[in-house]
Amino acid sequence: MKTIIAFSGSNSSRSINQHLIRLVAPLFTAAEVKVLDLRDFPAPMYGIDLEEAEGIPESMQQLMDEFRASDGIVLSTPEHNGSMPAFLKNAIDWLSRIEKKPFLNKPMLLLSASPGARGAQSAFEHLNAILPYRGAAIVAGHRVGSFFAKVEEGELHAEEKAQLIEVVRQMEKAVLE
């Protein structure tokens, strides 16, 4: 069976994007989903001096190995000041020092979530624009705005769930091709 890794770009223990990842994972039926938590791959702020002095952190090598072993990637991004959080950007910066295109041309489902109505639109659009240059084959995307109004007792509202199932099926199709 194909394996998809799924994670958010948040380092918050109460992350709504990681919550979204946990809600989306069981919607996959044709592939196995391995949910990762980026907090399990801690890395110092990227710097060329640090890289030259100490090399690439073992945690980033391990994350790269997770990418290599996967058949596809689901990423849900929060928005910090109109873009992705520095935490996510830092991981991408380190990974790009291991592989020029760390997303390895694998299919990607790009998600985002925010408490506000726009669903982290600016961060979503930014990643949608830049990740293909890093090898992400983005096949589908979906933004969840007003997150807390769309999740009740830990479950997604039916309309939102239906929209997510649609993009999950697109992702499965791409992974199985």
Ligand X SMILES: Cc1cc2nc3c(=O)[nH]c(=O)nc-3n(C[C@H](O)[C@H](O)[C@H](O)COP(=O)(O)O)c2cc1C
**Among residues 4, 6, 7, 15, which is the contact residue for ligand X, using CB under 6 A?**
15
Task: Give dist(CA 47, CA 50) in Å, integer.
Answer: 5
| Residue 17 touches ligand X, criterion: CB under 6 A | yes
Interface with ligand X: number of residues (CB under 6 A) = 16
Of 47, 82, 149, 162, which one interacts with ligand X (CB under 6 A)? 82
Report the relative pairing of strands 151-152 and 137-144 from DSSP bridges: unpaired
Q: Which residue is nearest to ligand X, using beta carbons?
A: 78
Distance CA 41, CA 78 (A): 18
Choose, by CB under 6 A, the member of 114, 143, 150, 164 that binds ligand X.
114
Q: Give yes or no for residue 78 binding ligand X (CB under 6 A).
A: yes
Q: What type of residue is 176?
A: L
Sign, Cα dihedral of 8, 112, 161, 173 = negative
Question: Quick one: tokens of 112?
Answer: 């985002």
Q: What's 44's DSSP letter?
A: P
* Residue placing its CB nearer to ligand X in the complex, 144 or 174: 144
Sites of contact with ligand X (CB under 6 A): 8, 10, 12, 15-17, 78-82, 114-116, 118, 120
